[in-house]
Chains A and B, each alone.
Chain A
Amino acid sequence: AQKITQTQPGMFVQEKEAVTLDCTYDTSDPSYGLFWYKQPSSGEMIFLIYQGSYDQQNATEGRYSLNFQKARKSANLVISASQLGDSAMYFCAMREEASGGSYIPTFGRGTSLIVHP
C-alpha cells in the first residue's frame, strides 16, 4: 500500500499568488516526521521543510509553510507569493518501518508546479 499520496500530478499558479500542494500519508507510528523536497529542472533534490508529528505548531520556512492536519493525516505544503523560480517538482516524504526495525524513506510521486508570469 502506498505510504505517501500526492494526488496532484500537476499544478499551475500565477506569479505572486499562493498555492497549496497536497500530501496525505498512512502510518501507524505514534510519532513520525514529514519532509518536503523540491526538484527543479536542473535535477537536484533540495530540502524545504520538516514537520514532526508532535510539533505544537505548523512548520514554516520563509515562504514555505505546512498545513498539518494530524487527524486527517495530511501535510500540505503552502507556498506563498509564488515566484517563477518555484517552478519544479515537489515531493512529500516520510519514513516507513521495515522489517528488522529499520526505516525506509518513502517518497510520494510528486507534484509538478508551474508558475506563470
Chain B
Amino acid sequence: DTAVSQTPKYLVTQMGNDKSIKCEQNLGHDTMYWYKQDSKKFLKIMFSYNNKELIINETVPNRFSPKSPDKAHLNLHINSLELGDSAVYFCASSQDDSGWDTQYFGPGTRLTVL
C-alpha cells in the first residue's frame, strides 16, 4: 500500500492555465506538507497543514492555494501558471507538526510549464 500518493506524476501545461495536484496519505498522520524542488534540487517548503489547519505559508505567491478537505488529503491548486513554476512538487506527511517526526514523501509531481 502506498503511504503518500500524488497525482498526477507528470503535468505539462501552457502558461496561464490553472492546474491542481492531489495528495493523499494513509498513515494516519496529522500534518501534511507541500514542497517545491527546483532544477538545482533545492527543496523548499511551501505550505504545511496540521489537522486541516494551515500552519506554514512560506511567502508563496497567492496563485498557489492549498486545500485540505480532511487530514488525509492536501491538494495544491495553481492559478495562472508561469514558466518559473516548472519544478517537482512533493507532498509529505508526518505524525505531527513538532518537527521531531520523520516526514514521508510522495513520489513527486513534475510540472512543466510551456
Contact = CB atoms under 8 A, between A and B. Distances in A.
B41 A95 contact: no
Interface of A: 33, 35, 37, 39, 43-47, 50, 52, 89, 91, 94-95, 98, 100, 102-107, 109-110
A110 B41 contact: yes
21 contacts: A33-B99, A39-B41, A43-B88, A43-B108, A44-B107, A44-B108, A45-B43, A45-B108, A52-B100, A94-B99, A95-B98, A102-B48, A102-B56, A103-B97, A103-B99, A104-B45, A104-B58, A105-B33, A105-B48, A110-B42, A110-B43
Given A45-B92, A105-B33, A33 B56 contact: no
A89 B105 CA distance: 15
B103 interface: yes
A33 B100 contact: yes
What DSSP secondary structure best describes chain A's contact surface?
strand
B55 interface: yes
B102 interface: yes
B104 interface: yes
Interface of B: 33, 40-45, 48, 55-56, 58, 88, 90, 92, 97-100, 102-105, 107-108, 110
A103 B101 CA distance: 11
B98 to A, nearest CB: 7
Contacts of A106: 45
A104 B55 CA distance: 9
Contacts of A100: 55
Given A33-B100, A43-B88, A109-B41, A98 B105 contact: no
A51 B92 CA distance: 20
B59 to A, nearest CB: 11
A35 B103 CA distance: 9
B5 to A, nearest CB: 12
A107 B33 CA distance: 14
A47 B103 contact: yes
A43 to B, nearest CB: 5
